[in-house]
Structure 1
Amino acid sequence: MTQVAYQINERRNKGTLSHDEHWDLTTADQKLALYDLHRFGYRLLFVRHLLTGPVAIICQQDDIAAIYADGEVDLRPKIHLRDMH
């Protein structure tokens, strides 16, 4: 197994983080943006760390959106979530 594959496998085997743990990983700007979007039914799914900073992935029913570290909201991000079922 390559080093990268090993690291990904190790991350996945650690289990999923709780909602509160994901919330704690967001920036203040992301929290403010999510507060504004919460009234439209958006909820936090998870946070991913990129070189540019944390990206909060949120959803409203089947609509996926992203909130970048500076609070910028992308309602049509080019991401694809794997099926968790």
Structure 2
Amino acid sequence: MNQSALDISERRGNPLPNSELWEQATAEQKLALYDLHRFGYRLLFMRHSVKGPIAVVCQQDDIALIYHDGEIDLHPKISIRQQH
């Protein structure tokens, strides 16, 4: 599933604690993240789109998206801004 920049709202500021991010995830996203966690993926942040929340996860330099319905995109066409 491709995402356009207009579909994802961008929020800047202080990152939320993982417990708050976890609460924003759907049940399907939580199950998918649990599966990916076994491979070393961790939840970075959540983004909200018209279709529902999108979980952005990473494992070292690999980024993946988990859509609201639990669909996992291991090769998303996005780039993550580096924190300074």
Normalised to the residue count of structure 2, the TM-score between the two structures is 0.83
Deviations 1:56-83 (CA, angstroms, capped at 9, x unpaired): 0000010000000000000001111111
Equivalent residue for 2:33? Answer: 34
Q: Residues of 2 paired with 1:57 and 1:12: CA distance?
A: 15
2:59 is equivalent to residue 60 of structure 1: yes
Structure 1 or 2: larger helix share? 1
Output aligned runs, 1:1-85, within 5 Å: 12-13=12-13, 15-85=14-84
Normalised to the residue count of structure 1, the TM-score between the two structures is 0.83
What's the CA shift for 1:43?
Answer: 0.6
Higher relative contact order (CA 8 A, sep 6+): 2
Deviating 4+ runs (over 2 angstroms): none
Q: Residues of 2 paired with 1:46 and 1:12: CA distance?
A: 11
Q: Which amino acid in 2 is paired with 1:12?
A: R
